[in-house]
């Protein structure tokens, strides 16, 4: 890889004796990692779990196949190893209100949901609509319960959530220097002024984020860049401008302290965490955790109300009685023909660009409900009255969108399809044929080998 001349000169000056090892790290292959999903019912996907990642429960080094049953069913999530440490730094507790402000593609949001044990409120926001669609797909596949997924600018979010969140994660858009190994083309648009330009946008995002943090709440800021302008200097600015203090982060082998000398010399900046690829088996990353020292009480806001009428509510209750066991959706919300379960703590959604208000339950048809893929992804087999184990070949046909036959003489109705005990979606059995309801936008072909 050919690194920009000014980039090399900058880090030779900053790193001194560490620079040769830093430079050599760019010639090495990027690390791959994945997380197992604790939100899913017990199963044993055939994945090598022999190389755990330090400080990340359920995190492992290795590469997973994005067209495998374990991936499609949400049992595994592919994620770069260094990035996994960010959600661990947030450390959300079950029941808290948590915001992932720059959330796509969803790796950190899914990890936050797992740490929250699907309890509380997770709001995931992404300003880019195309990336927000990917965010929806990943949280749905992972089985995240009642997430609120938005497509908004941070400054439009802050009036809707004043002093609201217990924890906020800002994984800020940055110059991406730490990802050069993974994405060498990023070096082509880097120049010496790029980090400073990114820092302007990062300050704007953080100004909105601080307004949404409740007194005593915690803010985690992270980047995938080495640039001091976007790392220590941003934290020094936050400490100067707002009632915040740094919280020390646990560091294990290969993890480095932040560099006060790269900002204003404040020794507190050593509490931040740096990951250099010559020291840690992962890409470059920076993480800082801050706590609000502001006083006052959280602002009470009006919660979203259910808008589901009696007839549609009755259709849903009938579907549950005929198909599910020991399943409670809670509050119901209707967007068009779609029926959702939602967290009533969320604010009135009017005026916000909503990608997903909660967990999709199904599509309202005439006198019936067609269950959603999102519902299948949150269910456990014991919560469904009818399940159907399928073979690998049948799974291949299912994710391609094809119908397939079943050998057993099964009653007509909805079945949760299971591959090796992993729920993969709903099918409808009619006269020995399994009609396919895998979402059209998610379908793919698995190469036969």
29 is in which domain, residue-wise? Answer: 5-292
Q: Which of 59, 29, 55, 56 is nearest to 47 (CA)?
A: 59
Domain-embedded: residue 344 = no
254, 275, 292 — which closes off a domain? 292
pLDDT digits (tens, 9 = 90+) for 244-261: 999 999 999 999 999 999
Domain-embedded: residue 195 = yes
Find residue 303's DSSP bridge partners.
347
Which strands make up the sheet holding 59-61, listed edge to edge?
59-61, 33-36, 76-78
Q: Does residue 19 sit in the same domain as residue 157?
A: yes
What is the rounded average pLDDT of the residues 222-226? 98
pLDDT digits (tens, 9 = 90+) for 49-70: 999 998 999 999 999 999 999 9
Is the pLDDT at 299 greater than 80? The verdict is no
| Residue ranges of the binding site for S-adenosyl-L-methionine | 102-108, 126, 171
Q: Does residue 390 sit in the same domain as residue 243?
A: no
Q: Which of 393, 379, 378, 391 is nearest to 420 (CA)?
A: 391
- Alpha-carbon gap, residue 431 to 429, rounded angstroms: 7
Query: Taking a C-beta distance cutoff of 8 angstroms, is the pair 207, 196 a contact?
Result: no
Q: How confident is the model at residue 436 (pLDDT cuts 50, 70, 90)?
A: very high
The pLDDT of residue 87 is: 98
Domain-embedded: residue 366 = no
pLDDT digits (tens, 9 = 90+) for 170-210: 999 999 999 999 999 999 999 999 999 999 999 999 999 99
Which segments of 141-239 are extended strands (E)?
Answer: 148-150, 165-171, 213-223
Q: Confirm whether 174 is a catalytic residue.
A: no
Catalytic residue among 86, 144, 213, 224: 224
Q: Does residue 82 sit in the same domain as residue 200?
A: yes
Q: How confident is the model at residue 449 (pLDDT cuts 50, 70, 90)?
A: low
Average pLDDT score, the chain: 96
The domain that holds 144 is classified in CATH as 3.40.50.150
292, 322, 340 — which closes off a domain? 292
Q: Does residue 278 sit in the same domain as residue 397?
A: no
Tokens for 278? 């010559």
Domain-embedded: residue 279 = yes
The pLDDT of residue 280 is: 96
The pLDDT of residue 396 is: 97
Kindly list the distances between the CA atom of residue 44 and the CA atoms of 58, 115, 229, 346, 433, in Å, as whole numbers in the listed order.
13, 20, 45, 35, 28
The backbone torsions φ and ψ at residue 235, rounded to the nearest 5 degrees and listed phi first, read -70, -40
Q: Does residue 79 sit in the same domain as residue 214?
A: yes
The domain that holds 428 is classified in CATH as 2.30.130.60
Domain-embedded: residue 418 = yes
The pLDDT of residue 302 is: 86
Q: How confident is the model at residue 43 (pLDDT cuts 50, 70, 90)?
A: confident
Q: Cα–Cα–Cα angle for 222, 228, 230, nearest 5°? A: 45
Is the pLDDT at 90 greater than 80? The verdict is yes
Domain-embedded: residue 212 = yes
Q: Does residue 123 sit in the same domain as residue 255?
A: yes
What is the rounded average pLDDT of the residues 249-275? 97
pLDDT digits (tens, 9 = 90+) for 418-431: 999 999 999 999 99
| Residue ranges of the binding site | 102-108, 126, 171
Q: Does residue 120 sit in the same domain as residue 259?
A: yes
The pLDDT of residue 346 is: 93
pLDDT digits (tens, 9 = 90+) for 352-372: 999 999 999 999 998 899 999
Domain-embedded: residue 375 = no
pLDDT digits (tens, 9 = 90+) for 363-415: 999 889 999 999 999 999 999 999 999 999 999 999 999 999 998 789 999 99
The pLDDT of residue 27 is: 95
The pLDDT of residue 393 is: 96
Domain-embedded: residue 252 = yes
Q: Which of 398, 396, 385, 392 is nearest to 433 (CA)?
A: 398
Is the pLDDT at 298 greater than 80? The verdict is no
Is the pLDDT at 33 greater than 60? The verdict is yes
Give the whole-number percent of the chain exceeding pLDDT 90. Answer: 93
Q: Does residue 88 sit in the same domain as residue 230?
A: yes
Is the pLDDT at 272 greater than 60? The verdict is yes
- Alpha-carbon gap, residue 285 to 276, rounded angstroms: 7
Query: CB-hemisphere CA count at 13 Å for 195?
Result: 20
292, 312, 328 — which closes off a domain? 292
Q: Does residue 397 sit in the same domain as residue 282?
A: no
pLDDT digits (tens, 9 = 90+) for 116-152: 999 999 999 999 999 999 999 999 999 999 999 999 9
- Alpha-carbon gap, residue 348 to 148, rounded angstroms: 12
- Alpha-carbon gap, residue 43 to 127, rounded angstroms: 35
Q: Does residue 285 sit in the same domain as residue 391?
A: no
pTM for this prediction? 0.97
Number of compact structural domains in the chain? 2
The pLDDT of residue 363 is: 97
Count CB-CB contacts under 10 A for residue 261. Answer: 12
Give the whole-number percent of the chain exceeding pLDDT 70. Answer: 100
The pLDDT of residue 122 is: 98
User: Would you give the DSSP letter of residue 170?
Assistant: E
Q: How confident is the model at residue 42 (pLDDT cuts 50, 70, 90)?
A: confident
């Amino acid at each position: 890889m050919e690194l920009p001349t000014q980039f090399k000169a900058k880090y030779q000056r900053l790193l001194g004796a560490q620079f040769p090892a830093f430079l050599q790290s760019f010639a090495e292959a990027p690390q791959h990692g994945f997380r197992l999903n604790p939100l899913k019912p017990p199963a044993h996907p055939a994945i090598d779990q022999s190389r755990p990642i330090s400080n990340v429960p359920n995190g492992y080094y290795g590469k997973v196949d994005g067209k495998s049953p374990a991936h499609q069913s949400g049992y595994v999530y592919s994620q770069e190893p260094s990035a996994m440490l960010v959600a661990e730094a947030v450390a959300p507790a079950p029941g808290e209100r948590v915001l992932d402000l720059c959330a796509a593609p969803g790796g950190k949001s899914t990890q936050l949901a797992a740490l929250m044990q699907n309890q509380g409120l997770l709001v995931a926001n992404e300003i880019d609509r195309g990336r927000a669609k990917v965010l929806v797909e990943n949280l749905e596949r992972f089985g995240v319960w009642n997430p609120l997924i938005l497509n908004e600018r941070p400054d439009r979010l802050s009036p809707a959530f004043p002093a609201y969140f217990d924890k906020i994660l800002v994984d800020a858009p940055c110059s991406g220097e730490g990802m050069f190994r993974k994405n060498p083309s990023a070096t082509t648009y880097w120049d010496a002024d790029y980090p400073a330009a990114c820092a302007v946008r990062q300050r704007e995002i953080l100004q909105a984020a601080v307004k949404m943090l409740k007194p005593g709440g915690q803010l985690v800021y992270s980047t995938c860049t080495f640039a001091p302008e976007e790392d220590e200097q941003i934290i020094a600015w936050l400490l100067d401008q707002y009632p915040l203090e740094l919280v020390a982060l646990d560091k294990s082998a290969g993890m480095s302290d932040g560099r006060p000398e790269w900002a204003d010399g404040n020794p507190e900046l050593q509490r931040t965490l740096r990951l250099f690829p010559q020291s840690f088996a992962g890409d470059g990353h920076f993480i800082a955790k801050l706590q609000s020292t502001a006083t006052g009480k959280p602002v009470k806001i009006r919660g979203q109300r259910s808008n589901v009428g009696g007839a549609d509510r009755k259709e849903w209750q009938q579907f549950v009685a005929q198909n599910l066991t020991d399943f409670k959706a809670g509050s119901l919300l209707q967007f068009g023909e779609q029926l959702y379960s939602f967290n009533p703590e969320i604010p009135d959604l009017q005026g916000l660009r909503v990608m997903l208000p909660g967990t999709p339950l199904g599509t309202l048809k005439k006198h019936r409900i067609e269950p959603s893929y999102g519902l299948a992804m949150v269910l456990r087999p014991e919560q469904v009255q009818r399940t159907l184990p399928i073979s690998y070949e049948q799974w291949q046909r299912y994710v391609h969108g094809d119908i397939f036959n079943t050998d057993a003489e099964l009653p007509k109705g909805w079945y949760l399809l299971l591959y090796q005990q992993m729920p993969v979606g709903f099918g409808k059995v009619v006269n020995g044929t399994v009609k396919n309801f895998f979402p059209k936008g998610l379908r793919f072909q698995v190469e036969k080998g």
